[in-house]
C-alpha cells in the first residue's frame, strides 16, 4: 500500500472510532435519563408505594415485663399463622427428595419398581432400610446422603417414603 492509501485507511478508522465513541456517549446519557424518569414514575405510583410501605412496616412490637399487649387479636393472629405445616405423604416425599436418583437408578440407587434390585434390600428388613434412608449409605454401588440430601424433611416423612418405595417394588 502506498502512503496515500494508509492515510485514507487511517482517516476511515478515525471516523469509525469517533462515531462509536459518540454512540456510546449517547447510549449512556439515554440510559441515565431513562433510569431517572423510571424511578420518578415508580416513586409516584401509589401501588408501588403501598408495596414498599408494606415491606418496611414493623412485623412485631417489644413488650416488656409488666406491660400489657395492646392488641390481643393481633397476637392471636400471629400465633395462628405460625402453625406447623402439614406432614408430607410418602409419594410427596418421594417426588421431592427420592425421585431424582431412584426414578432412574442413578448413582447405584435401586430404581423405583425394580423388584430384582429391591428384593435383597427388602430382605434386610424395614428397620435397616429406614436407618439407611435416615442416616445415609455408602455402598459398593453408590452413595446416598442422609434423608436423600433433604435435611428439612422429618424422619416420619422419610420413613413414609421408604414404605412407598417398598410398596412400588412389590
The answer on 161 and 94 residing in a single domain is yes
Global model pTM greater than 0.75: no
114: left (phi over 0), alpha (psi -120 to 50) or beta: beta
pLDDT tens track for 25-52: 999 999 988 887 777 777 777 888 888 8
**Which domain, by its residues, includes 38?**
3-56
From CA 148, how far away is CA 162, in angstroms rounded? 11
For strand 137-138 and strand 143-144, is the pairing parallel, antiparallel, or unpaired? antiparallel
Domain of residue 137, CATH code:
1.10.760.10
The answer on 103 and 157 residing in a single domain is yes
Please tell me the total count of domains within the chain.
2
Among 153, 18, 16, residue whose Cα is nearest residue 86: 153
Are 116 and 149 within 8 A, CB to CB? no
From CA 158, how far away is CA 170, in angstroms rounded? 19
Given 11, 37, 56, the domain boundary residue is 56
pLDDT above 70 covers a percentage of the chain that reads 89
Amino acid at each position: 500500500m502506498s502512503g496515500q492509501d494508509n492515510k485514507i485507511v487511517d482517516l476511515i478508522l478515525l471516523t469509525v472510532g469517533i462515531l462509536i465513541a459518540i454512540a456510546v456517549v449517547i447510549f449512556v446519557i439515554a440510559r441515565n435519563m431513562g433510569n431517572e424518569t423510571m424511578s420518578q414514575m415508580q416513586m409516584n405510583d401509589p401501588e408501588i408505594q403501598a408495596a414498599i410501605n408494606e415491606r418496611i412496616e414493623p412485623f412485631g412490637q417489644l413488650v416488656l415485663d409488666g406491660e400489657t399487649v395492646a392488641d390481643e387479636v393481633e397476637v392471636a393472629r400471629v400465633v395462628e399463622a405460625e402453625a406447623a405445616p402439614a406432614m408430607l405423604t410418602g409419594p410427596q416425599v418421594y417426588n421431592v427428595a427420592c425421585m431424582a436418583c431412584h426414578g432412574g437408578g442413578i448413582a447405584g440407587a435401586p430404581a423405583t419398581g425394580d423388584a430384582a434390585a429391591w428384593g435383597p434390600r427388602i430382605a434386610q428388613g424395614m428397620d435397616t432400610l429406614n436407618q439407611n434412608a435416615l442416616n445415609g449409605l455408602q455402598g459398593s454401588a453408590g452413595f446416598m446422603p442422609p434423608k436423600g440430601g433433604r435435611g428439612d424433611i422429618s424422619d416420619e416423612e422419610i420413613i413414609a417414603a421408604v414404605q412407598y418405595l417398598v410398596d412400588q417394588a412389590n
